Amino acid sequence: MNKQKNIENIYPLSPMQQGILFHSLLAPDAGAYVPQVCITVDGLTDVIAFQKAWSEVFRRHSILRTAFRWEKRDQPFQVVYQVLDLPWQQQDWREFSPSEQQQKLEDFLEEDRKQGFDLKIAPLFRINLIQLTETCYQLVWTQHHLIIDGWSAGLVLKEVFQLYQVFHKDTDLNNLSTYNKRP
């Protein structure tokens, strides 16, 4: 799709976003605005339904399809795209012991955070689903703080798990996950 035809809307930044953008550009490698949400999802039996839930949330919330522009402009602005590919990756770590999995996860989180984001290219988040056992996964959701804050991230996750329950009806939502947010 033509980039211009794929633009849904263009907005100015909120004052908070302007401050985050300024600090992100001032220290791009600091990682202060790249939180990672790590969730151990125990009891996940339908990865396709889980990915479909994420895709639906991605479609519903325009901020997840947003990039930012500031160069050669009086004021920065955000560009919302209509359609983008969900930034989804899967890995299988079942061959590793629990202690090896933990070390791999720590290394992965460090490398993933260092990767950062190009703020001019949406989406400004990544999803990595890592299989640990037959039905236990580690979800790593890395995003830029320009598009979502901690409170909103919790709402997005709640919506993802509710949609997963809809797409895979026999899952008990109360027993599905534990939540740990990394700064």
Structural contact between residues 60 and 72, judged by C-beta atoms closer than 8 angstroms: no
User: Strand order of the sheet with strand 136-143?
Assistant: 88-92, 125-131, 136-143, 36-42, 177-182
Using one digit for the tens of pLDDT, what is the confidence trace for 99-137? 999 999 999 999 999 999 999 999 999 999 999 999 999
Residue 122 DSSP one-character state: S
CA distance readout (Å), 156 to 5, 36, 58, 118? 27, 14, 9, 22
What pLDDT is attached to residue 180?
42
List of domains in the chain = 28-61+84-182 (3.30.559.10)
* pTM score: 0.87
Picking from 3, 4, 28, 14, the residue whose alpha carbon sits closest to that of residue 149 is: 14
> pLDDT digits over 14-56, tens only?
999 999 999 999 887 777 899 999 999 999 999 999 999 999 9
